[in-house]
Amino acid sequence: MAKRITQKDIRAVTTLFTARSWATRVSAIVVLALAAWAWWSESRASPGMLAAGYEVSGTVVGVADGDTITVLDADRRQYKLRLAFIDAPEKAQPFGAVAKQHLSDLIYRKTVTAEVIDVDRYQRGVALIRLDGVDINYAQVKAGLAWHYTRYADKQARDDFAAYDAALQAAREGRLGLWQQHGAEPPWDFRREQRAAR
C-alpha cells in the first residue's frame, strides 16, 4: 500500500528545480519532506492501524491461543488478530492448549484472509478468518473448542449467528472438545476471576 505520487508532489519537484527564489525552493523541499514522511509512515503500518472493513491477506506466522493469531502480509507487516464472534478457553484453562493446537493445525503457515470487524482495546483486529473460503472461527466452535461469543452479536450476520449458535449446541450435545468436561467455565468468567484475584 505505497503512497501514490500526487500532482502536488510533482509540482513540488518542478518548483524545486525551476523556482528563482530560495523561499519557494524551501517550500518545495518542505512539501517533498512531508510526502516522504507520509510514505515512510505508511510503509511501517502497524496492527493498531487496522479499522473495521479492512481486509488482510497473509500467512499465519503465530498462534497465541485458541482465538488469537498473527498474520504476515505480502509487505511483511504483522497484524495481531483476534477471531471475531468466538471466545476460546484461556491457556490456563482446561482445553486451552487443545484449542490453540487445533487452530494451529488448521491455519499455521497457511495463507488466510481476515475481514476486520472491529479493533479491540488491545489494538488487535477482531476479524473473521477464512482459509480457502472456510470460516475458521466457526470451525473452532464446531470442534467444541470455543464458545460463540454473543457479546458482539449485533456485528454478526443473522445467518452466521444462527449457524454459530447451532454449532455450539451440537458440540455441547455431542460432548466435543471442552464440552467433555462437566460445568465448563466460560473464558470471560475465568478472566474476571483472575482480575479479581489480583
Structure confidence by residue, pLDDT tens digits, 85-108: 999 999 999 999 999 999 999 999
Residue 109 domain-assigned? yes
Same domain, yes or no: 165 and 125: yes
Give the pLDDT band of residue 19 (cuts 50, 70, 90): confident
Same domain, yes or no: 149 and 57: yes
Is residue 120 within 8 A of residue 126, CB to CB? The reply is yes
Same domain, yes or no: 54 and 39: no
What's residue 48's pLDDT? 44
**CA separation, residue 182 to residues 76, 100, 177, 188 (Å):** 44, 21, 12, 17
Same domain, yes or no: 55 and 33: no
First to last CA, the chain: 43
Residue 13 domain-assigned? yes
Same domain, yes or no: 17 and 105: no
Give the pLDDT band of residue 60 (cuts 50, 70, 90): very high
Domain that holds residue 22: 7-43
pLDDT value at 10 more than 90: no
Same domain, yes or no: 28 and 93: no
Residue 190 domain-assigned? no
Is residue 116 within 8 A of residue 137, CB to CB? The reply is no
Residue 17 domain-assigned? yes
Same domain, yes or no: 140 and 87: yes
Structure confidence by residue, pLDDT tens digits, 138-168: 999 999 999 999 887 788 999 999 999 999 9
Same domain, yes or no: 20 and 85: no
Total residues belonging to the chain: 198
Residue 76 domain-assigned? yes
Residue 156 domain-assigned? yes
Q: Which amino acid is at 119?
A: V
Average confidence (pLDDT) over 65-91: 97
Same domain, yes or no: 140 and 52: yes
Same domain, yes or no: 96 and 158: yes
What's residue 117's pLDDT? 95
- The domain total for the chain is 2
Grid coordinates in use for 1?
500500500
pLDDT value at 177 more than 90: yes
Same domain, yes or no: 171 and 96: yes
* Active-site annotation, residues: 82, 90, 124
Structure confidence by residue, pLDDT tens digits, 24-47: 777 778 877 887 776 665 555 454
Residue 131 pairs in a beta bridge with: 134
Residue 142 domain-assigned? yes
Same domain, yes or no: 22 and 105: no
Element (H, E) at 167: helix 158-173
- As a whole number of angstroms, the distance between CA 138 and CA 168 comes to 9
Q: Which residue has the higher pLDDT, 45 or 111?
A: 111
Is residue 138 within 8 A of residue 164, CB to CB? The reply is yes
What's residue 36's pLDDT? 75
Residue 113 domain-assigned? yes
What's residue 40's pLDDT? 61
